[in-house]
Structure 1
């Protein structure tokens, strides 16, 4: 039993804990709203965009479980447990944002996207666990709501800055093979803002020591990983070989059906996980109880049932989001501004309007996180609140087919913004109250696999689907997004409200 409770945080404390996410999200927003534009400005075709974007989810898939595992086991004196990763990621991400606009070839931009996304993930993943570390259970919903508000606010700044720069007289067009000055200056300003915001959190917070965390959480000795390794050692290799076989089938099907080459990556990842699982199980059977691979494989295969159910909803909801991030610029430019030519003034104008749309849904998310979501969660519960939010997002995507005026798309972004707020807050608020304190980092990292795997699936498969059925018609990607977001809402119906609230002191 815990010997004491974590002290409740004031509004200033909640602010300090999550303010760094404001800067991190500026970086993500600049990436999400402008990388397709940068790639096309440097000569990429529409069909190649998913392959170029694959760097982002792949780095998240590799980085987040590793950083989660390491941060659970880190303690660097005054710098603490999670904050060393905040600092490392912020430095690398800021440098990437400063260098990205200097790209003059497509390969350089693609490589820098890889570095940028890895760096953002190094900072971001521990921030999820940081809220659980610092707050008592009855403040988890408030903590993740404040974090979501900062995510929304940071995304507004990052998304709208190119649009504002154009209206302030900065050049928004560039010759073929060059990046417009509006994007260039936005990335530079974003790098500085990211670093400053993360440093604010680092300097204004004090993490609880490992001894305090153990006392607050009341975790048993089983949370040191010993039980996880023992359970993994007792497993057979059947499921591992099944993953390998599934990957081989994907590779063979890609060749047999002439799918886009990016699908090979999906098959390769399935094979890689199967091989990692074999290695992890064998090391566990050999008595190696402190290795990272076995710990990660064991924790992944032994996820709590509630986490598995939430993971399915995450999978569908983030699939829809990634479809939106990749395709909104070509959709808006082609259907609402009349140009699919990335070198034209109309296309660049459409790109800036996408920044406004993204700023809108993020602004709505910031407001909804502090007002609508707490109001609904208190009255209908966290699970039903999340279902409502996801359905709002589905309607938002579907409405792209209803509107003909670019200004009317702002209405669609209201629904997307409510969904975005819910996706960023509700699953984590549910999880943080139901996971052992000593393993928050690794479980949050593993949960985020279901954020990045759907992005990889979209990046590898969507190009083949569009080429086969809707060549040069990117608007139909929004229909996919609407349908997949509705599936996410359906998946949430499998989560019991009573189970989700079981760890809340108010319900005991």
Structure 2
């Protein structure tokens, strides 16, 4: 007897085939572009804000666009992608494309902002657009891979993210080495090196996402007729999201606590590393224009010299920050080879990596010269590599696969809420408890990562810790 399409689809979904490395690579390659966007945003938005006249104390608040858009966009996109199916374009890929187009446009125009309010506005658009693409990429791994390959899949994503972080973080330095000007424009605008770097990032974002769209297929819903029927009957968009929030599994709640301290730390780095390191390590803070008598040629020249020194140091800070992408790539590469054939204890890997990253942040206060930042950011990269893989692997093994998109979107609320707390004064209040120097923000980031690492001790769900293909797991803690 011939198997019906419905039965064949159900069989495929309940027993997903193992994918090759290159199939997993293709479905994750779009993350290269997404990370170009995030790395350029994370490494250089504070620099853009300072160049346009922002006070360093105001920088975290100017960053609030990023977490707020994530809070709103990711659960919505997750829900919509769960309830989308197109015979040719699938479930997640339409959102990849929409987000990639909008992100590329925003990336190109961000460094052309002529006023601070314009840069802040473009950050809102950029972060919302990146989130449209990013959330479905997380869900795609859970959609396509069997349980035994989940860790492998998320770690492969982390490998690609590491490559993107390192290259994108070095782009302004690279193009300045090719002779592109690194000085602020005559009107005080963003240096040409930054403008060119963001244009390259826009191109890479769009092309890498298109590569994934055209090289990856998606599985249809288990029961396509039932899927369409439920989609027509259930128009409870907001109510469904709220219902899922109310019924968050215990493991997800505990992972949320880990995520809170992890992302508080990284938001602190993205928003404050440039002013902290240019001041404390490079001794070249952004000059305050009002402190110079610009009518005096000598004062105007002194301001330009100080401003150029700040821009050069900012390039170097971006390059050193790229080290954490490089080390996260090596971290992910080693785990990719290991998890291809063996299981790992996700909880212990995550705990150790976060504590190492915390030590890396704290060490920035003590470095005797800029070169030592290589070691600091290498340790931070271990934490970053783990943050981008282990929590998602643990979560995907403990939730309903039919709700993977909306669950991943809700889970990302645990990413954006700590960033909102940090932006609304959490960073400034916390670091000023240690002193008025901006470098104390890096110490706060380190302490936060150590706390996040220790919170892993709360995870007890065996399936989340290490997938057990031959064991029945009943614990829900």
Cα 1:388/1:129, change in 2 over 3 Å: same
Deviation at 1:470, TM superposition (A): 6.3
* Structure 2 contact 93–213 (Cα < 8 Å) conserved: yes
After the TM superposition, which of the residue ranges 168-177 and 417-426 deviates more from structure 2? 168-177
Cα 1:411/1:468, change in 2 over 3 Å: closer
* Structure 1 contact 466–474 (Cα < 8 Å) conserved: no
* Structure 2 contact 329–385 (Cα < 8 Å) conserved: yes
Matches of residues 116-127 of structure 1 in structure 2 within 5 Å?
116-127=126-137
Cα 1:433/1:56, change in 2 over 3 Å: same
| 1:3 correspondence with 2:14 | no
* Structure 2 contact 347–465 (Cα < 8 Å) conserved: no
* Structure 2 contact 430–444 (Cα < 8 Å) conserved: no
* Structure 1 contact 165–182 (Cα < 8 Å) conserved: yes
2:166, 2:431 → 1: CA distance?
33
Cα 1:477/1:463, change in 2 over 3 Å: closer
Specify the alignment match of 1:194 in structure 2. Answer: 205
Say how many residue pairs are matched.
441
2:39, 2:431 → 1: CA distance?
28
Matches of residues 102-501 of structure 1 in structure 2 within 5 Å?
102-175=112-185, 177-211=188-222, 290-341=235-286, 344-372=307-335, 375=338, 378=342, 381-462=345-426, 464-465=428-429, 469=433, 473-496=437-460, 498-501=462-465
Question: How large is the Cα RMSD of the aligned pairs?
Answer: 2.4
1:397, 1:69 → 2: CA distance?
36
1:213, 1:496 → 2: CA distance?
36
Specify the alignment match of 1:67 in structure 2. Answer: 77
Cα 1:467/1:448, change in 2 over 3 Å: closer
After the TM superposition, which of the residue ranges 397-406 and 170-179 deviates more from structure 2? 170-179
1:119, 1:473 → 2: CA distance?
34
Deviation at 1:177, TM superposition (A): 2.9
Specify the alignment match of 2:297 in structure 1. Answer: none
Deviation by residue 1:234-274 (Cα, 9 ceiling, x = unmatched): xxxxxxxxxxxxxxxxxxxxxxxxxxxxxxxxxxxxxxxxx
* Structure 2 contact 346–466 (Cα < 8 Å) conserved: no
| 1:48 correspondence with 2:58 | yes
After the TM superposition, which of the residue ranges 117-126 and 162-171 deviates more from structure 2? 162-171
Which portions of structure 1, spanning 4 or more consecutive aligned residues, are displaced by more than 6 angstroms? Answer: none
2:385, 2:283 → 1: CA distance?
31
Deviation by residue 1:141-179 (Cα, 9 ceiling, x = unmatched): 110011001111111111001111121111111146300
After the TM superposition, which of the residue ranges 49-58 and 495-504 deviates more from structure 2? 495-504
2:350, 2:29 → 1: CA distance?
24
Cα 1:418/1:411, change in 2 over 3 Å: same
2:175, 2:113 → 1: CA distance?
20
Other structure's SS at 1:74 match: coil
1:17, 1:363 → 2: CA distance?
21
2:421, 2:106 → 1: CA distance?
25
Other structure's SS at 2:364 match: helix
Deviation at 1:373, TM superposition (A): 7.2
Cα 1:213/1:394, change in 2 over 3 Å: farther
* Structure 1 contact 337–349 (Cα < 8 Å) conserved: no
* Structure 1 contact 137–504 (Cα < 8 Å) conserved: no
1:168, 1:506 → 2: CA distance?
56
Other structure's SS at 1:211 match: coil
Deviation at 1:374, TM superposition (A): 6.4
Cα 1:289/1:90, change in 2 over 3 Å: closer
| TM-score computed with the length of structure 1 as normaliser | 0.82
2:415, 2:337 → 1: CA distance?
23
Deviation at 1:376, TM superposition (A): 8.8
Deviation by residue 1:303-330 (Cα, 9 ceiling, x = unmatched): 1111111111011101111111111101
2:188, 2:84 → 1: CA distance?
44
Deviation at 1:462, TM superposition (A): 3.1
* Structure 1 contact 397–481 (Cα < 8 Å) conserved: yes
* Structure 1 contact 166–182 (Cα < 8 Å) conserved: yes
1:120, 1:431 → 2: CA distance?
22
* Structure 1 contact 213–437 (Cα < 8 Å) conserved: no
After the TM superposition, which of the residue ranges 352-361 and 412-421 deviates more from structure 2? 352-361
